[in-house]
């Protein structure tokens, strides 16, 4: 049986939040898309993983048994991707004025001189979809801009 990791990730997020809306937000999905992923996983497994009632969600016995192995499967998949990408450079898309982004890049290089970096310098402001959406895991924005968190 082949498991779809996106479905497993949807299950784990929902199990951790016990709320489809919050789990969907964490995964940058609509609640409907998340619910469909979980339903497809339940179909593949042939068991219900959640009891859904009115306004509450709880794990079934099968869901409780599946949760830890599902977490381990996702961790193993993440480890496999990391191993495959080990020598791949960190690609940085940089828009706008170069002073702030280059200062951030310099701090990263100072902390990790072994990390290969591939800057991709762009002129002008970032496209609207990039500016207006939340920062996703693995992303950072230049310091000093409102609403632009920078990792520690």
Given a contact cutoff of 8 angstroms between Cβ atoms, the answer to whether 30 and 22 are in contact is no
Per residue of the chain (152 residues), give pLDDT as tens. Answer: 899 999 999 999 999 999 999 999 999 999 999 999 999 999 999 999 999 988 899 999 999 999 999 999 999 999 999 888 777 777 777 666 656 667 777 887 888 888 787 777 666 555 555 545 555 555 555 444 444 444 44
What residue ranges define each of the domains in the chain, with the CATH number in brackets?
5-84 (1.10.10.10), 88-152 (no CATH)
Q: CA–CA separation, 71 vs 78, rounded Å?
A: 11
Given a contact cutoff of 8 angstroms between Cβ atoms, the answer to whether 104 and 150 are in contact is yes
**Would you state the structure tokens that stand for residue 86, as one six-digit string?**
């080990």
Given a contact cutoff of 8 angstroms between Cβ atoms, the answer to whether 34 and 22 are in contact is no
Given a contact cutoff of 8 angstroms between Cβ atoms, the answer to whether 46 and 32 are in contact is no
> What 8-state DSSP symbol labels residue 144?
T
């Amino acid at each position: 049986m082949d498991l779809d990791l996106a479905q497993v990730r949807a299950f784990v997020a929902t199990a951790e939040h016990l709320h489809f809306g919050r789990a969907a937000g964490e995964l940058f999905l609509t609640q409907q898309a998340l619910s469909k992923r979980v339903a497809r996983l339940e179909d593949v497994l042939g068991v219900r993983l959640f009891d859904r009632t009115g306004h509450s969600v709880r794990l079934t016995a099968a869901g409780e048994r599946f949760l830890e192995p599902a977490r381990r499967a996702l961790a193993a998949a993440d480890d496999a991707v990391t191993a495959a990408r080990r020598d791949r450079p960190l690609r940085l898309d940089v828009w706008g004025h170069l002073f702030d982004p280059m200062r951030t890049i310099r701090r990263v290089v100072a902390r990790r001189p072994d990390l290969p970096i591939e800057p991709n310098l762009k002129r002008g402001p970032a496209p609207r979809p990039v500016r207006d959406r939340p920062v996703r895991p693995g992303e950072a924005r230049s310091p000093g801009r409102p609403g632009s968190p920078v990792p520690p």
